Amino acid sequence: CGFQLRDDYQLPPAMQTVSVQAPAFSEFQQVLERRLNLAGAKLDGTQQKSLIIEVLDDTLDRRTLSLSQSGQVAEYEMIYTVYYQLIEQGEVSAQQQVEVYRDYQDDPNFALAKTREREVLVQEMREEAARLLLRQTIAYLTE
């Protein structure tokens, strides 16, 4: 049915060496660097020709999805957004954006435990955002 092992995944030449710039203390930077590493890119900012992925900001928004019987919030939707831009030899691309949505149930009876669950979800959303960002960057570079 036409499926074959994804082997043409070699990173585009521009992405052989990559460096990630991000605001101070950005947890997303570490997740993105691990993802780039696993994908075979060499993380090295000294090369002149290396691609710079500049993470401008990452935000986590929350929206009410449904109400419980008492009228209080039963479910939230979490929206994790990463704003970034690509810099190739000094030439800056337009600002790009990646968004990941996850809904999450609120249970005030287990407030601390639900906070821990939210932290697990946020970490998973960061990994998902890093995967999407990598895929979008490859598509952008091979356009």
Partner 1 sequence: QQPSRPALSEVCPIPAPLFTTPISPIKDLPIGAIGVRADRADIDSESEVASFFGNVEVQFDQQQLRTEQAQIDQQTGNINASGSTLFTDGYVQVSSENFRLNSGENRAFLSGAEYQLTETGAHGKADLLSLSPAQVLLEGSTFTTCPSDSPVWQMSAQEISLNEDEAWGEAWHAKFELFGVPVLYLPYINFPVTEERKSGFLFPTFGSSQKNGFEVEVPYYFNIAPNMDATIAPRYMAERGVQMQAEFRTLSTTGSGQYNVAYLESDKSTEDNAARYLWRVEQTQRWGENWRAYVNGTFISDDDYLNDLGSDFAGRADAQLYRHAQLDYLSEDWQVTMRAEDFELLGSYRSPYRTMPQIKSFYATDLGLDLDFSLFSEMSHFQNQDLSQDTATRVHVEPQLSFHLEQPGYDWLAELSYAYTYYNQEFELERSRSKNPSRSLPTFRWRGRVNLERTIDIQQQSYTHTLQPQIQYLYIPYRDQTGIGIYDSTLMQDDYQGLFRARRFSGLDRIADANQVTIGASSSLFDQQAREVARVSFGQIYYFENSETQLLESSTATTESRSDLALETRFRINNNMYFNSSIQYNLELDSTRKSQTTLEYRLDEFNLIQLSHRTVTNLLENDVEQVGMLGVVELSPTWQLASNWYYDLQNNRTNDAFIALQYSDCCWAMRISGYRRINRNLELNAGMPAVGEPEFDNGISIQFIIKGLGSDNRSLLDMLEQSLFGYRHPFHLSN
In the window 46-105, what residues touch partner 1 (CB under 8 A)? 58-75, 78-79, 103-105
- Strand boundaries in 34-136, DSSP class E: 42-43, 51-67, 73-88, 91-92, 96-105
User: How many residues belong to the chain?
Assistant: 143
Count of residues that bind partner 1 according to CB under 8 A: 63
Q: Pick from 90, 91, 94, 109 the residue near partner 1 by CB under 8 A.
A: 109
CA 22 to CA 34: how far, in whole Å?
Answer: 14
Q: Which residue number, 2 or 90, has a Cβ lying nearer to partner 1?
A: 2
Q: Which pairing describes strands 73-88 and 91-92: parallel, antiparallel, or unpaired?
A: antiparallel
Binding site for partner 1 (CB under 8 A): 1-10, 24-25, 27, 38-40, 58-75, 78-79, 103-120, 122, 124, 132, 135-136, 138-140, 143
